[in-house]
Amino acid sequence: MTDLVVEINQLSRSFGKTKALDDINYRASRGKVYGLVGANGAGKTTLIKHLLGLLRAQSGTVKIFGQDPVKSPEQVLKRIGYLSEERDIPDWMNIGELMRYTSAFHKGWDDNYATELLDTFTLDKTKKIKTLSRGMRAQVALITAVAHKPDLLILDEPSSGLDAVVRHDILNAVVRTISEEGRTVIFSSHLLEEVERLSDHVTMIHHGKITLDSSMEEINNSYHYSSIRFTDSLEVKPVLNTALSISGSGRSWSVIHEGAAERLADSVSQLGGEIVESRNATLEEVFVSQVGRSISHSTTETI
């Protein structure tokens, strides 16, 4: 059996004159956590809708477990767990009723696992969903997505609006456990620290194009931050080898660059400067170097 769970080739999608996805190639294998990042409107949600079979490919192909999710929805969707940012669950039920209702749709539903998660999150089965806090609703919705032990779990902004404790519960106790059991997790998030901490692999989308698609190990090895001090004040931004983005003024500048600091040092030295600090770049810093702005500051409509 192949380890490949998701295989997308040359996928494009337009909404009117807006190109939401532009010739996307994407892979996801068994037993790994895949982070999907990009500013609002970058194309993340559109990509997820194709994975779920909610959108038909205008061009290119989408295969989940070797099948087209549009042509074979029953075979594909029964193996997927999905949690959306809206966490749309029926308010009129209590938690126990929702668990029983959801279990009827999944032959693989594990009552013991569901109960274990309810206990972990200290959720009372008799509580009406309409009385739950935003964080508790997210926990309940997540249990309905994972208790049937899906081969692929898709989380679309699972931490949106949640406090740190709830985020920790959801993303550590559940997401990592599922991946360690040989299942696959794809999660979209604007919280890049979370993506960096939990992901084995990160895909970055900008204006419908994939700008970065690498393992976290490769990203850590490839991108670095260096702080530079020049002897004389510079009036204009310095031109430096391997630099992706440069910020600062006068004698002090910060650089995100490819490769180790040694590759940057020669061009810094030629301009009368020295590297005073160097470390691995954070995923947030890599994102800004690729996109040119912070992911948290985007106000573009979600696509």
Local confidence pLDDT in tens for the 303 residues of the chain: 568 999 999 999 999 988 999 999 999 999 999 999 998 888 999 999 999 999 999 999 999 999 999 999 999 999 999 988 777 788 899 999 999 999 998 888 999 999 999 998 899 999 999 999 888 888 899 899 999 999 999 998 887 777 787 787 777 766 767 777 889 999 998 889 889 988 999 999 999 999 999 999 999 999 999 999 999 999 999 999 899 999 999 999 999 999 888 889 999 999 999 999 999 999 999 998 888 765 544 444 456
User: Is 143 inside any structural domain?
Assistant: yes
Please report the pLDDT score of residue 173 as a whole number.
63
Whether residues 12 and 33 fall in one domain: yes
Contact 13, 25 (CB under 8 A): no
Q: Are residues 187 and 260 in the same domain?
A: no
Q: What is this structure's pTM?
A: 0.89
Same domain, 291 and 188: no
First-to-final CA distance of the chain: 34
Domain count, the chain: 2
Same domain, yes or no: 162 and 189: yes
Same domain, 200 and 243: no
Last residue of a domain, one of 207, 235, 268: 207
Is the domain of 233 the same as that of 183? no
Same domain, 250 and 102: no
The whole domain housing 109 covers 4-207
Residue 162 pLDDT = 76
What pLDDT sits at residue 300?
41
| pLDDT, position 298 | 44
pLDDT reported for residue 171: 77
158, 184, 207 — which closes off a domain? Answer: 207
Of the three residues 184, 207, 230, the one that is the final residue of a domain is 207
